[in-house]
Amino acid sequence: MSATKWTAVRIRAMKGQGKFACLTAYDFSTARLVDEAGIPLILVGDSLAMTMLGYDTTLPVTMAAMLHHAAAVARGVSGALVVADMPFMSYQVSVAQALENAGRFIKEAGADAVKIEGGRFRAPTVKALIENGIPVLAHIGLTPQSIHTLGGYKVQGKKSEEAQRLVEDAQALEDAGAFAIVLECLPPALGEAITKTVGIPTIGIGAGPHCDGQILVTHDLLGITGEVSPKFIKRYAALGASMKQAFSEYKREVEQGHFPGPEHCYT
Protein backbone atom coordinates (compact mmCIF):
# COMPACT_ATOMS: atom_id res chain seq x y z
CA MET A 1 0.00 0.00 0.00
CA SER A 2 1.46 3.39 -0.98
CA ALA A 3 2.24 5.91 1.76
CA THR A 4 -0.19 8.39 0.21
CA LYS A 5 -3.12 5.96 0.13
CA TRP A 6 -6.06 6.99 2.32
CA THR A 7 -6.99 4.31 4.83
CA ALA A 8 -9.92 4.02 7.23
CA VAL A 9 -7.43 4.69 10.04
CA ARG A 10 -6.33 7.93 8.33
CA ILE A 11 -9.92 9.05 7.78
CA ARG A 12 -10.70 8.36 11.44
CA ALA A 13 -7.67 10.47 12.43
CA MET A 14 -9.15 13.43 10.48
CA LYS A 15 -11.41 14.17 13.47
CA GLY A 16 -10.61 17.71 14.53
CA GLN A 17 -7.96 18.10 11.80
CA GLY A 18 -10.05 20.12 9.32
CA LYS A 19 -12.87 19.41 6.93
CA PHE A 20 -12.71 16.91 4.09
CA ALA A 21 -14.75 16.25 0.96
CA CYS A 22 -16.06 12.86 -0.16
CA LEU A 23 -17.86 11.88 -3.37
CA THR A 24 -19.59 8.90 -4.91
CA ALA A 25 -18.35 7.14 -8.04
CA TYR A 26 -19.70 4.14 -9.88
CA ASP A 27 -17.31 3.64 -12.82
CA PHE A 28 -13.59 3.52 -13.62
CA SER A 29 -13.23 6.83 -15.52
CA THR A 30 -15.13 8.97 -13.01
CA ALA A 31 -13.38 7.32 -10.08
CA ARG A 32 -10.00 8.11 -11.66
CA LEU A 33 -10.90 11.79 -12.04
CA VAL A 34 -12.30 12.04 -8.50
CA ASP A 35 -9.15 10.37 -7.19
CA GLU A 36 -6.88 12.67 -9.21
CA ALA A 37 -8.74 15.65 -7.71
CA GLY A 38 -7.44 14.47 -4.32
CA ILE A 39 -10.77 13.46 -2.78
CA PRO A 40 -9.84 11.19 0.16
CA LEU A 41 -12.95 8.95 0.27
CA ILE A 42 -14.92 7.59 -2.67
CA LEU A 43 -18.21 5.83 -1.95
CA VAL A 44 -19.59 3.34 -4.43
CA GLY A 45 -23.06 4.26 -3.21
CA ASP A 46 -26.14 2.14 -3.66
CA SER A 47 -27.47 5.42 -5.09
CA LEU A 48 -26.17 3.87 -8.32
CA ALA A 49 -29.54 2.09 -8.38
CA MET A 50 -30.99 5.48 -9.28
CA THR A 51 -28.14 7.36 -11.00
CA MET A 52 -26.85 4.51 -13.14
CA LEU A 53 -29.65 1.97 -13.35
CA GLY A 54 -32.78 4.15 -13.39
CA TYR A 55 -34.63 2.68 -10.40
CA ASP A 56 -36.86 4.91 -8.23
CA THR A 57 -35.21 3.82 -4.97
CA THR A 58 -31.97 2.17 -3.86
CA LEU A 59 -33.78 -1.04 -2.88
CA PRO A 60 -33.56 -3.15 -6.07
CA VAL A 61 -29.79 -3.00 -6.57
CA THR A 62 -28.14 -6.41 -6.16
CA MET A 63 -24.86 -7.63 -4.71
CA ALA A 64 -23.80 -8.61 -8.24
CA ALA A 65 -24.34 -5.06 -9.54
CA MET A 66 -22.63 -3.46 -6.55
CA LEU A 67 -19.62 -5.78 -6.87
CA HIS A 68 -19.37 -5.03 -10.59
CA HIS A 69 -19.33 -1.24 -10.04
CA ALA A 70 -17.14 -1.36 -6.92
CA ALA A 71 -14.50 -3.33 -8.83
CA ALA A 72 -14.54 -0.78 -11.67
CA VAL A 73 -14.09 2.07 -9.19
CA ALA A 74 -11.30 0.29 -7.32
CA ARG A 75 -9.41 -0.15 -10.63
CA GLY A 76 -9.52 3.63 -11.20
CA VAL A 77 -8.31 4.70 -7.76
CA SER A 78 -4.84 4.80 -6.28
CA GLY A 79 -5.13 7.34 -3.46
CA ALA A 80 -8.68 7.50 -2.12
CA LEU A 81 -10.30 5.10 0.32
CA VAL A 82 -12.85 3.07 -1.66
CA VAL A 83 -15.96 2.35 0.38
CA ALA A 84 -18.54 -0.07 -1.02
CA ASP A 85 -22.15 0.44 0.02
CA MET A 86 -23.77 -2.82 1.08
CA PRO A 87 -27.10 -3.11 -0.75
CA PHE A 88 -30.51 -3.69 0.81
CA MET A 89 -30.84 -7.17 2.36
CA SER A 90 -27.16 -8.02 1.91
CA TYR A 91 -26.41 -7.51 5.65
CA GLN A 92 -29.74 -7.19 7.46
CA VAL A 93 -30.55 -10.92 7.63
CA SER A 94 -27.75 -11.93 10.01
CA VAL A 95 -24.26 -11.02 11.11
CA ALA A 96 -23.01 -14.07 9.19
CA GLN A 97 -24.65 -12.80 6.00
CA ALA A 98 -23.09 -9.35 6.53
CA LEU A 99 -19.64 -10.88 7.02
CA GLU A 100 -19.91 -13.02 3.94
CA ASN A 101 -21.08 -10.21 1.67
CA ALA A 102 -18.75 -7.56 3.09
CA GLY A 103 -15.88 -9.98 2.55
CA ARG A 104 -16.82 -10.23 -1.13
CA PHE A 105 -16.44 -6.44 -1.53
CA ILE A 106 -12.93 -6.63 -0.11
CA LYS A 107 -11.81 -9.87 -1.80
CA GLU A 108 -13.55 -9.71 -5.17
CA ALA A 109 -14.03 -5.98 -5.80
CA GLY A 110 -10.90 -4.59 -4.12
CA ALA A 111 -12.83 -2.17 -1.88
CA ASP A 112 -11.13 -0.92 1.28
CA ALA A 113 -14.20 -0.66 3.52
CA VAL A 114 -17.99 -1.04 3.50
CA LYS A 115 -20.90 1.20 4.49
CA ILE A 116 -24.04 -0.05 6.20
CA GLU A 117 -27.17 1.82 7.26
CA GLY A 118 -28.73 1.76 10.71
CA GLY A 119 -28.41 2.90 14.31
CA ARG A 120 -27.57 1.12 17.55
CA PHE A 121 -29.32 -2.09 16.47
CA ARG A 122 -26.59 -2.40 13.80
CA ALA A 123 -23.75 -2.19 16.38
CA PRO A 124 -23.23 -6.00 16.66
CA THR A 125 -22.83 -6.20 12.86
CA VAL A 126 -20.37 -3.29 12.83
CA LYS A 127 -18.37 -4.92 15.64
CA ALA A 128 -18.25 -8.31 13.89
CA LEU A 129 -17.11 -6.77 10.60
CA ILE A 130 -14.34 -4.82 12.29
CA GLU A 131 -13.22 -7.82 14.36
CA ASN A 132 -12.83 -9.65 11.06
CA GLY A 133 -10.72 -6.94 9.45
CA ILE A 134 -13.36 -4.98 7.51
CA PRO A 135 -13.56 -1.23 8.28
CA VAL A 136 -17.13 0.12 8.51
CA LEU A 137 -18.60 3.50 7.62
CA ALA A 138 -21.92 3.84 9.48
CA HIS A 139 -24.94 5.77 8.13
CA ILE A 140 -27.78 7.24 10.21
CA GLY A 141 -30.51 9.87 9.81
CA LEU A 142 -32.32 9.45 6.52
CA THR A 143 -31.40 5.89 5.59
CA PRO A 144 -32.78 5.34 2.08
CA GLN A 145 -32.94 1.55 2.47
CA SER A 146 -35.68 2.14 5.10
CA ILE A 147 -37.66 4.45 2.85
CA HIS A 148 -40.87 2.42 3.27
CA THR A 149 -40.77 2.57 7.08
CA LEU A 150 -39.62 6.22 7.13
CA GLY A 151 -42.53 7.12 4.84
CA GLY A 152 -40.52 9.24 2.38
CA TYR A 153 -37.33 11.24 1.91
CA LYS A 154 -37.79 13.57 4.92
CA VAL A 155 -35.55 15.44 7.32
CA GLN A 156 -34.94 13.24 10.37
CA GLY A 157 -34.45 14.13 14.05
CA LYS A 158 -36.66 17.20 14.12
CA LYS A 159 -38.31 16.19 17.42
CA SER A 160 -36.10 16.30 20.51
CA GLU A 161 -36.60 12.60 21.40
CA GLU A 162 -35.72 11.57 17.83
CA ALA A 163 -32.66 13.82 17.95
CA GLN A 164 -31.57 12.27 21.25
CA ARG A 165 -32.02 8.79 19.79
CA LEU A 166 -29.78 9.71 16.83
CA VAL A 167 -27.06 11.07 19.14
CA GLU A 168 -27.16 7.77 21.06
CA ASP A 169 -27.11 5.78 17.82
CA ALA A 170 -23.97 7.63 16.73
CA GLN A 171 -22.32 6.88 20.08
CA ALA A 172 -23.22 3.19 19.85
CA LEU A 173 -21.77 2.96 16.33
CA GLU A 174 -18.58 4.69 17.45
CA ASP A 175 -18.33 2.26 20.40
CA ALA A 176 -18.82 -0.65 17.98
CA GLY A 177 -15.78 0.59 16.02
CA ALA A 178 -17.10 2.47 12.95
CA PHE A 179 -14.33 4.69 11.53
CA ALA A 180 -16.79 7.46 10.54
CA ILE A 181 -20.55 8.08 10.30
CA VAL A 182 -22.60 9.47 7.43
CA LEU A 183 -25.33 11.81 8.69
CA GLU A 184 -28.05 12.24 6.10
CA CYS A 185 -30.78 14.88 6.11
CA LEU A 186 -30.66 16.26 9.65
CA PRO A 187 -31.19 19.78 10.98
CA PRO A 188 -27.77 21.51 11.15
CA ALA A 189 -27.99 21.83 14.96
CA LEU A 190 -28.31 18.05 15.26
CA GLY A 191 -25.45 17.53 12.77
CA GLU A 192 -23.38 19.78 15.03
CA ALA A 193 -24.48 18.04 18.24
CA ILE A 194 -23.56 14.58 16.90
CA THR A 195 -20.27 15.91 15.52
CA LYS A 196 -19.39 17.33 18.94
CA THR A 197 -20.46 14.17 20.77
CA VAL A 198 -18.58 11.49 18.84
CA GLY A 199 -14.82 11.05 18.54
CA ILE A 200 -14.97 9.84 14.94
CA PRO A 201 -15.58 12.01 11.87
CA THR A 202 -19.13 12.75 10.77
CA ILE A 203 -19.70 12.99 7.03
CA GLY A 204 -22.76 15.05 6.25
CA ILE A 205 -25.15 15.03 3.33
CA GLY A 206 -27.87 17.54 4.07
CA ALA A 207 -26.76 17.68 7.70
CA GLY A 208 -25.36 21.22 7.79
CA PRO A 209 -21.93 22.81 7.80
CA HIS A 210 -20.65 21.53 11.15
CA CYS A 211 -19.93 17.94 10.10
CA ASP A 212 -16.26 16.98 9.81
CA GLY A 213 -16.69 15.94 6.18
CA GLN A 214 -19.25 16.36 3.44
CA ILE A 215 -20.38 13.95 0.74
CA LEU A 216 -22.38 14.52 -2.43
CA VAL A 217 -23.60 12.22 -5.16
CA THR A 218 -21.23 13.02 -8.04
CA HIS A 219 -24.03 13.01 -10.63
CA ASP A 220 -25.81 15.74 -8.61
CA LEU A 221 -22.63 17.83 -8.27
CA LEU A 222 -22.00 17.57 -12.02
CA GLY A 223 -25.58 18.49 -12.94
CA ILE A 224 -26.33 15.21 -14.71
CA THR A 225 -29.35 14.26 -12.59
CA GLY A 226 -32.87 15.67 -13.10
CA GLU A 227 -34.00 19.19 -12.34
CA VAL A 228 -35.89 18.28 -9.14
CA SER A 229 -33.35 17.72 -6.40
CA PRO A 230 -33.08 17.97 -2.61
CA LYS A 231 -32.20 21.35 -1.13
CA PHE A 232 -28.81 20.14 0.12
CA ILE A 233 -27.42 19.59 -3.39
CA LYS A 234 -25.08 22.15 -4.91
CA ARG A 235 -24.43 21.81 -8.62
CA TYR A 236 -20.81 22.67 -9.43
CA ALA A 237 -21.24 22.09 -13.18
CA ALA A 238 -23.99 21.75 -15.77
CA LEU A 239 -22.63 18.67 -17.52
CA GLY A 240 -26.11 17.41 -18.37
CA ALA A 241 -26.66 20.42 -20.63
CA SER A 242 -23.11 20.22 -22.05
CA MET A 243 -23.52 16.50 -22.82
CA LYS A 244 -26.84 17.06 -24.56
CA GLN A 245 -25.29 19.86 -26.62
CA ALA A 246 -22.35 17.64 -27.64
CA PHE A 247 -24.68 14.78 -28.64
CA SER A 248 -26.81 17.15 -30.75
CA GLU A 249 -23.77 18.72 -32.43
CA TYR A 250 -22.36 15.27 -33.30
CA LYS A 251 -25.75 14.21 -34.70
CA ARG A 252 -25.93 17.36 -36.84
CA GLU A 253 -22.36 17.00 -38.15
CA VAL A 254 -22.91 13.35 -39.10
CA GLU A 255 -26.21 14.16 -40.81
CA GLN A 256 -24.63 17.10 -42.70
CA GLY A 257 -21.54 15.11 -43.72
CA HIS A 258 -19.13 17.32 -41.68
CA PHE A 259 -17.93 14.45 -39.51
CA PRO A 260 -15.62 12.65 -40.05
CA GLY A 261 -13.43 15.29 -41.73
CA PRO A 262 -10.11 14.60 -43.51
CA GLU A 263 -8.24 14.95 -40.17
CA HIS A 264 -10.19 11.99 -38.79
CA CYS A 265 -9.35 9.69 -41.72
CA TYR A 266 -6.35 7.37 -42.24
CA THR A 267 -4.18 8.09 -45.27
Q: Which residues are catalytic?
A: 184
Least distance from ligand KIV to the Cβ atom of residue 265, Å: 43
3-class SS string, the chain: CCCCCCCHHHHHCCCCCCCEEEEECCCHHHHHHHHHCCCCEEEECCCHHHHCCCCCCCCCCCHHHHHHHHHHHHHHCCCCEEEEECCCCCCCCCHHHHHHHHHHHHHCCCCCEEEEECCHHHHHHHHHHHHCCCCEEEEEECCHHHHHHHCCCCCCCCCHHHHHHHHHHHHHHHHHCCCEEEEECCCHHHHHHHHHHCCCCEEEECCCCCCCEEEECHHHHHCCCCCCCCCCCCCCCCHHHHHHHHHHHHHHHHHHCCCCCHHHCCC
Select 43 or 180, whichever has its Cβ closest to ligand KIV. 43
Measured CA to CA in angstroms, residue 74 lies from 35, 41, 49, 101 at distances of: 10, 12, 18, 17
Interface with ligand KIV, residue 215, by CB under 6 A:
yes
Binding mask 48-87 for ligand KIV (x = CB under 6 A): -------------------------------------x--
Least distance from ligand KIV to the Cβ atom of residue 162, Å: 20
**How many residues form the binding site for ligand KIV (CB under 6 A)?**
10
Least distance from ligand KIV to the Cβ atom of residue 45, Å: 2
Select 236 or 259, whichever has its Cβ closest to ligand KIV. 236
Select 143 or 163, whichever has its Cβ closest to ligand KIV. 143
Interface with ligand KIV, residue 217, by CB under 6 A:
yes
List 30, 47, 195, 225, residue binding ligand KIV (CB under 6 A): 47
Select 116 or 134, whichever has its Cβ closest to ligand KIV. 116
Interface with ligand KIV, residue 205, by CB under 6 A:
yes
- Residues 93 to 132 in contact with ligand KIV, rule: CB under 6 A: none
Q: Which residue is nearest to ligand KIV (CB)?
A: 45
Interface with ligand KIV, residue 145, by CB under 6 A:
no
Interface with ligand KIV, residue 182, by CB under 6 A:
yes
Interface with ligand KIV, residue 181, by CB under 6 A:
no
Terminal CA-to-CA distance of the chain, rounded, Å?
46
What is the C-alpha separation between 124 and 136, in angstroms, rounded?
12
Least distance from ligand KIV to the Cβ atom of residue 85, Å: 5
**Residues in the site for ligand KIV, rule: CB under 6 A?**
24, 43, 45-47, 85, 182, 205, 215, 217
